[in-house]
Structures are given as structure tokens and as C-alpha cells.
Amino acid sequence: MTELTSPVERVIAARREAGSGALIGYLPAGFPDIPTSIEAAVALAENGVDIIELGLPYSDPVMDGPVIQAATQTALAQGFRLRDGFEVMAAITARVSTPVVFMSYWNPIAQYGVDRFAEDLVAAGGAGLITPDLIPDEARQWLAASERTGLDRIFLAAPSSTDSRLEQAVQASRGFVYAVSTMGITGARGDVDSAAKALVARLRTAGATSTCVGLGISSADQVREVLAYADGAIVGSALVKALSDGGVPAVAATAAALSAGTRPAVARH
């Protein structure tokens, strides 16, 4: 898929040409309830977020930190099911032009049916899927379904990945490669791990044209720091915490503050 046909790549390319990079915001579908999760995602799009990552709550979120785990468990406790994610996705994409991708662990998709999932995602207006626990050499069904439907497929790369694994991720990914900046689970940190910069350089060597960095980004300064060497900065826990603490207005304010990092820093005199 080229920059002309992938809405995610189109947005990243436009940001790159403007001399900056993309801000990608994560929120879980169904938290704190379905209607509020829709409004919160729309607020991201209205306050400077370029691409929305919509998480599908799962009972065993091994890569998620405590803030996101608590939110997804709340959604599941209220009866959220994977099929509800398509309702949330469709409601968001009907109101904003910002590309929206799902983030989901693989097991619920396999249970739902890979082809059915891809078709329902297209019907809901979704742009693609991030699969944190699926590696390319185990992704035959998803690669085929995404090829048939034109959906983006976003694989993860970590500092611990071998060069051959990075090459696999680059070749299999469409939209961008998700560079995990730190080892371990998600969560806002005071400093973004310097390993991210080296990882992005390795991914570029492996042929990546779009690389976005996630895990640990929680401020406009960190967004700006990441965009100095990557094509996008992904923020999750800081936005989920804002939604948990202050509802949609707090999400809107946090997104707006983070988006300041996509603009050049103002010189201090």
C-alpha cells in the first residue's frame, strides 16, 4: 500500500513534509462506557491528534501498564465485547476524518474470525490494526486478510529484536512500524528511553519509511524529543489517566497540550 492509498501513511507523510511528525493517541473502546469513549476519541481528533489508536479491551493485557489495565478491566466488567468495538469505531469515523486503527491482542481476533474481523473493520471505517503480540511469521491469516481488504497492519519492534526480526517487521508492516521505546509494559515515564533513538535508526537501516515510537511518552517536550528522530509519537497512559480523572474535557486539554510538541519549540529569551 502506498502513501496515496493508506490514510495513516498519508497523514504521516503530510506531517513529515510540514517539518514535523504525527501525534498518535490511544484510548480504550468502552471506557468508562461506550458513549463516553466515543466522545473522548472525537475530542482527540479535535485537539491535535493525527491518528487515533482505539484499544479493544482484553482479559489478559500482558503489555499494558496499570492505568490502561484498570480502564480495560472496567470496560470488560460492564459487559464490553469485541463486537462493541466496531460500533465505537463506526461512531468515531462517522464524525472525524482522522484515521482510526484498532489495537488488539491476537486471541480475541482469532476467536472472532480473522476474515470476519477484517471485513467488519472496513465496514466500520477503520484504517488498520496494531497487533502487539502477533509476530509476522505467525501472521499468515492476517497478512492475507489485510492484503485483500487494504487494511494497514502495524507490527511492533523492540530494542531487543534481532536485525532479521526488524527486517520482518518492516516488510510485513503497512502504515508504520511501532517502535517500543522501553522494555516492559506501557506507562508514562519521566524520560523516554534513549534506546528508542537507536531502535528507529536500526529500523531505517532495515528499510522502514515510517516509524512511530510508543511507551513512556507523556508530555509535549517528550513528543518533540521523539519527533526529532521518528515519524510519530504515540501517547496512551497519559490520555487514559486524563479520561479517568477528568472525563472528556480533561482528555481534550491533555491532547491539546501534547500536540504542542508537534510544533517547533519557541525560543526563550
Catalytic (active-site) positions: 53, 64
In Å, what is the CA distance from 161 to each residue of 165, 168, 186? 6, 10, 18
Q: How many Å apart are CA 23 and CA 2, to the nearest integer?
A: 20
Burial of 116 by CB count in 10 Å (0-12 exposed, 13-18 middle, 19+ buried)? exposed
Report the SS3 class of residue 55.
strand
Please count the helices (runs of H) and the strands (runs of E) in the chain: 11, 9
Spatial contact of 225 and 196, defined as CB atoms under 8 Å apart = no
Amino acid letter for position 181: S
